[in-house]
Structure 1
């Protein structure tokens, strides 16, 4: 299913379902208060964003430190599961998935997941989604006695029931990684605290643990890569261009012609450099137009060639990456790859990659950012002038600066 259809289902089905579930819970608690349940494990629910699995990593590690006897589970949409492999914090057997490629699969997997969650001996379920009714229902149906999530409090709209036991305010003025940390710490605060999450976090608290591929992994990847693209073996520096963005928000894409110009200019000015275009298999044909426009044999189309497990060695071997605000910016962060991230509809203040070597470029138009958790990350804009306002010269200048 596409993102717009999922938003419609979340609203038209989610609002009445969360209302009815809230009514049921209140009536049940009034007549027959549930007996305390002693679980020990923790379930994190973050379904829809691959990059968020990386942003949330510090919170996952903090949960492990605060509750060393707990087994940590993570529930995510099936197509996004490979993003959990980047940091390797969650054991493969503790990764839970729901298919969302069709309504039938979504319903079938959700019903099965309710049964699975209730077998996990949960102490807490932490809903990391931003005001999703679907994830609120999953959190409640998990059977966990402690249910943590973002609550609207006095904010109008975005109703998703009253199903949480630990209500954390979503703070739109600090990085979302700190919001995730606040959710974990809510479990250490007295029940009934209003709001939960009264704790200070520093930049060091959300810093990602570095990820370095082994020599064996690097050698295996280079062997496979050089067989397919021998020109890369002769180039001293690789610059990655990631011109794509997830279907969640195509407005985040910098115009394709700008990427073509960046590729042409870099190849013309640096004869020791190769350009790598990344993307998924469905983006291969479009990426090929960029390769053709560059007019050089030192540009390689890796769309569909790289698997998720290839990204860490690819980033470790590369010099710089230019990317839209999307998953690769976050996947490259633990490697420390110098990265230029182009922002428009969203802001790096909230969603910037946790990478000390990242530079964020935004035109800062009066209308930008136009999407947030408060509008369900939806916008009326159909003309992303905020992305077109980022000039080629500014991006090229940043590339050259990071190349040193």
Structure 2
């Protein structure tokens, strides 16, 4: 029976399936902590895409030997790693699998084939959503009114819950993730090299901007707005640096060219790792970013950060830290990207939810944070 699986005893081996974006790993930190608290003797494992491994190692929430990765850069590598992952899961013999993906069919297949007797996963109930099979015997109702980190905690509670639906309880209080710790002298060394590479930096405050939209371009504040914002901050006397991956370089060069200022620099592709990026965050005074990885990573640092939301809502996805400030217009059609529509927006590309966040509003908040920040 779909809901008939009895509550689990003390599981010895638990697998978390969390394939998606890097930022979700940061939001999942309360879940990892709760699992360790509830099941201190259990061995925790994770199945994830190889491209996100660096962030997991950075967070330090999982023994390196308990990480199963799948490459997704090529079909051949993906197929080979899928078979390898399934063999590893069957060999380990998990008692519980927690599928943290929002109605993903791929993660559902891995959960089913793992051989674990207990499958925890999101379920749409009578609402729209991708069919995931009836083998999820600890279904958790996806709740679009609760922060994703709280929903991850519900999945942990569902392991031993006897209620219907599972885990009927008050929403847990969420706290900020612990700040990433650096070795003695590490931040100073990164700053020294950064100043050598970009001589305009010494003695000036640094503002970082991330204008890219990543895998969901509809989440991006308009590039023209970023150009105007950067120009205003450059005129205020700040150094402005555009960050991003190598594939973000064309947009970064476009912003730098539009600003036409010696203090506007391109850092896309400059950082060697996420850790290197977060070290640079410590040198900066402000980050302005679209919803995505950089905003979530900033929660691991003290950097004051402005994050644009529109197609998705901060009520569900806001980074959990006091240095994060969300900008959200809250139009009648926003948010339009949900788990129920598999994050496929009905918008025609005219993302007014972001366009209506005006430059003057952003400048006012940015200048306020910069003036309050003590570093010269």
TM-score by length of 1: 0.85
Picking from 180, 187, 198, the partner of 2:168 is: 198
Name the residue aligned to 2:29.
57
Name the residue aligned to 2:224.
257
CA shift digits 1:58-85 (9 cap, x unpaired): 1011111111112221211122222213
How far, CA to CA, are the matches of 1:280 and 1:363 in structure 2? Answer: 28
Q: Give the unaligned 5+ runs of structure 1.
A: 1-24, 27-32
Name the residue aligned to 2:188.
219
Q: 1:296 aligned to 2:261?
A: yes
CA shift digits 1:145-176 (9 cap, x unpaired): 22111112222442110111211111110101
Name the residue aligned to 1:239.
207
How far apart are residue 38 of structure 1 and its match?
8.8
Q: 1:323 aligned to 2:286?
A: no
Relative to its length, the structure with more helix (as a share) is 1
Asked if 1 retains the 8 angstrom alpha-carbon contact of 2:218 and 2:311, the reply is yes
Picking from 133, 140, 151, the partner of 2:112 is: 140
Asked if 1 retains the 8 angstrom alpha-carbon contact of 2:286 and 2:304, the reply is yes
The 3-state SS of whatever aligns with 1:231 is coil
CA shift digits 1:237-283 (9 cap, x unpaired): 21111111221x110011111111111101112x2x21121100111
How far apart are residue 289 of structure 1 and its match?
1.9
Asked if 1 retains the 8 angstrom alpha-carbon contact of 2:227 and 2:259, the reply is yes
How far, CA to CA, are the matches of 2:358 and 2:10 in structure 1? Answer: 57
Asked if 2 retains the 8 angstrom alpha-carbon contact of 1:136 and 1:163, the reply is no
Name the residue aligned to 2:346.
380
Q: 1:332 aligned to 2:298?
A: yes
How far, CA to CA, are the matches of 1:352 and 1:118 in structure 2? Answer: 36
How far, CA to CA, are the matches of 1:157 and 1:339 in structure 2? Answer: 33
Asked if 1 retains the 8 angstrom alpha-carbon contact of 2:308 and 2:327, the reply is yes
How far, CA to CA, are the matches of 1:72 and 1:233 in structure 2? Answer: 45
How far apart are residue 202 of structure 1 and its match?
3.7
How far apart are residue 199 of structure 1 and its match?
2.2
How far apart are residue 323 of structure 1 and its match?
0.3
The 3-state SS of whatever aligns with 2:91 is coil
The number of aligned residues is 365
Picking from 247, 262, 280, the partner of 2:245 is: 280
Name the residue aligned to 2:54.
82
Asked if 1 retains the 8 angstrom alpha-carbon contact of 2:206 and 2:284, the reply is yes
How far, CA to CA, are the matches of 1:234 and 1:336 in structure 2? Answer: 20
Name the residue aligned to 1:354.
320
How far, CA to CA, are the matches of 1:333 and 1:195 in structure 2? Answer: 32
Name the residue aligned to 1:394.
361
Closer, same or farther: CA 158–394 of 1 in aligned 2, 3 Å: same
How far, CA to CA, are the matches of 1:62 and 1:157 in structure 2? Answer: 28
Q: Give the unaligned 5+ runs of structure 2.
A: none
How far, CA to CA, are the matches of 1:134 and 1:391 in structure 2? Answer: 39
How far, CA to CA, are the matches of 2:190 and 2:151 in structure 1? Answer: 36
How far apart are residue 52 of structure 1 and its match?
0.3
Closer, same or farther: CA 395–174 of 1 in aligned 2, 3 Å: same
Asked if 1 retains the 8 angstrom alpha-carbon contact of 2:128 and 2:341, the reply is no
Superposed, 1:106-125 pairs within 5 Å as 106-125=78-97
**Bigger shift: 317-326 or 213-222?**
213-222
Aligned CA RMSD, in angstroms, stands at: 2.1
TM-score by length of 2: 0.92
The 3-state SS of whatever aligns with 2:296 is helix
Name the residue aligned to 1:10.
none
